[in-house]
């Protein structure tokens, strides 16, 4: 997949071979712009993003969260638009581990307290934290949101990207991902990309999101997106959960 946008005569583009399930050309482009050009990101992402194939749920979610418009173009149109900027290409790369807020040593305590403590590290609102637990309940990796300087740096996206950067593989089967707030559509899709198989990961959110962000996500049971994603296992905390 390829993606680009043009801003003030300069072209910003990204290409992704699909070898990492949580990354696409759109996620690399959008997150790369926030990482490399944070001061200009809002203006840059007002421009239409051109892509060479239909958007996945992750791409759609990310465009909703942090960009404005997109268009899918055919190869001829792509070539004519793209090659006119041969001399002014900016390769946009994804965030590095140093910008993905995460820790392998979270505060101790019950998961509720761990998430509450991690939320205090967030930059921007709402404050959100997330933690990945192995089948025995041990925290493997935890993260928090950093949306003050990167609109896409939701806790779950940071967690997914940090996990893959560290391990280059899906989460262990039987893991649980706890999130302090119900995931938005972008994060829900990213979490499932990390899951390997939908049955490999249980998703637990601790607070309902009253806003529109979590509507139309693949974590809305019975929805088309949920069915298409393989009917992932999710529950809210603590009512539907086994744990105390
Ligand atoms: Zn999110």
pLDDT in tens, the chain (244 residues): 999 999 988 899 999 998 888 889 999 999 999 999 999 999 999 999 999 999 988 899 999 999 989 999 998 988 888 877 766 678 888 888 999 999 999 999 999 999 999 999 999 999 999 999 999 999 999 999 999 999 999 999 999 999 999 999 888 889 999 999 999 999 999 998 888 777 788 899 999 888 888 787 887 878 888 888 788 877 777 655 555 4
Task: Please tell me whether residues 107 and 224 are part of one structural domain.
Answer: yes
Cα 73 to averaged position of ligand 1 atoms, centre (Å): 27
Task: Please tell me whether residues 111 and 227 are part of one structural domain.
Answer: yes
Taking CA atoms, 226 is separated from 59, 192, 220, in Å, by 16, 10, 6
Cα 156 to averaged position of ligand 1 atoms, centre (Å): 6
Cα 10 to averaged position of ligand 1 atoms, centre (Å): 29
Cα 181 to averaged position of ligand 1 atoms, centre (Å): 9
Which is it for strands 233-236 and 201-205: parallel, antiparallel or unpaired?
A: parallel
Boundary of a domain, candidates 30, 64, 91: 91
Task: Please tell me whether residues 121 and 201 are part of one structural domain.
Answer: yes
Structural domain including 128 reads 97-236
Which is it for strands 49-51 and 2-7: parallel, antiparallel or unpaired?
A: antiparallel
Whether residue 242 is contained in a domain is answered as: no
Whether residue 202 is contained in a domain is answered as: yes
Task: Please tell me whether residues 184 and 111 are part of one structural domain.
Answer: yes
Cα 229 to averaged position of ligand 1 atoms, centre (Å): 17
Cα 154 to averaged position of ligand 1 atoms, centre (Å): 5
Task: Please tell me whether residues 125 and 221 are part of one structural domain.
Answer: yes
Whether residue 196 is contained in a domain is answered as: yes
Task: Please tell me whether residues 105 and 225 are part of one structural domain.
Answer: yes
What do you get for the CA distance between the two ends of the chain, in Å?
44
Cα 186 to averaged position of ligand 1 atoms, centre (Å): 6
Whether residue 18 is contained in a domain is answered as: yes
Contact present, 91 and 13 (Cβ < 8 Å): yes
Task: Please tell me whether residues 143 and 59 are part of one structural domain.
Answer: no
Task: Please tell me whether residues 120 and 227 are part of one structural domain.
Answer: yes
Task: Please tell me whether residues 29 and 144 are part of one structural domain.
Answer: no
Cα 132 to averaged position of ligand 1 atoms, centre (Å): 15
Residue position matching structure tokens 């996206």: 157
Cα 83 to averaged position of ligand 1 atoms, centre (Å): 34
Cα 74 to averaged position of ligand 1 atoms, centre (Å): 30
Task: Please tell me whether residues 121 and 51 are part of one structural domain.
Answer: no
Taking CA atoms, 177 is separated from 107, 198, 236, in Å, by 16, 12, 12
Kindly report the pTM of this predicted structure: 0.91
Boundary of a domain, candidates 91, 109, 135: 91
Task: Please tell me whether residues 208 and 128 are part of one structural domain.
Answer: yes
Cα 184 to averaged position of ligand 1 atoms, centre (Å): 4
Cα 210 to averaged position of ligand 1 atoms, centre (Å): 13
Task: Please tell me whether residues 148 and 104 are part of one structural domain.
Answer: yes
Boundary of a domain, candidates 62, 91, 120: 91
Q: How many domains does the chain have?
A: 2
CATH classification at residue 170: 3.40.140.10
């Amino acid at each position: 997949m390829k993606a680009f946008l043009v801003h003030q005569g300069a072209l910003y583009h990204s290409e992704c071979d699909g070898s990492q399930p949580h990354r696409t050309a759109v996620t690399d482009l959008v997150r790369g712009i926030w990482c490399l050009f944070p001061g200009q990101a809002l203006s840059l992402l007002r421009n239409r993003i051109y892509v060479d194939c239909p958007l996945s749920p992750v791409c759609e979610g990310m465009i909703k969260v942090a960009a404005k418009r997109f268009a899918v173009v055919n190869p001829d149109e792509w070539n004519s638009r793209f090659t006119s900027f041969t001399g002014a290409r900016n390769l946009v790369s994804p965030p590095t581990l140093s910008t993905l807020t995460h820790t392998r040593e979270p505060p101790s305590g019950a998961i509720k307290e761990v998430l509450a403590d991690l939320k205090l590290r967030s930059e921007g609102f709402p404050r959100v934290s997330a933690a990945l637990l192995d089948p025995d309940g041990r925290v493997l990796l935890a993260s928090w949101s950093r949306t003050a300087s990167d609109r896409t740096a939701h806790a779950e996206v940071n967690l997914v990207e940090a996990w893959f950067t560290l391990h280059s593989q899906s989460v262990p089967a039987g893991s649980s991902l706890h999130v302090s707030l119900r995931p938005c559509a972008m994060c829900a899709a990213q979490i499932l990309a990390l899951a390997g198989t939908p049955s490999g990961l249980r998703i637990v959110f601790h607070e309902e999101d009253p806003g529109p962000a979590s509507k139309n996500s693949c974590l809305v049971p019975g929805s088309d997106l949920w069915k298409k994603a393989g009917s992932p296992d999710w529950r809210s905390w603590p009512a539907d959960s086994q744990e105390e």
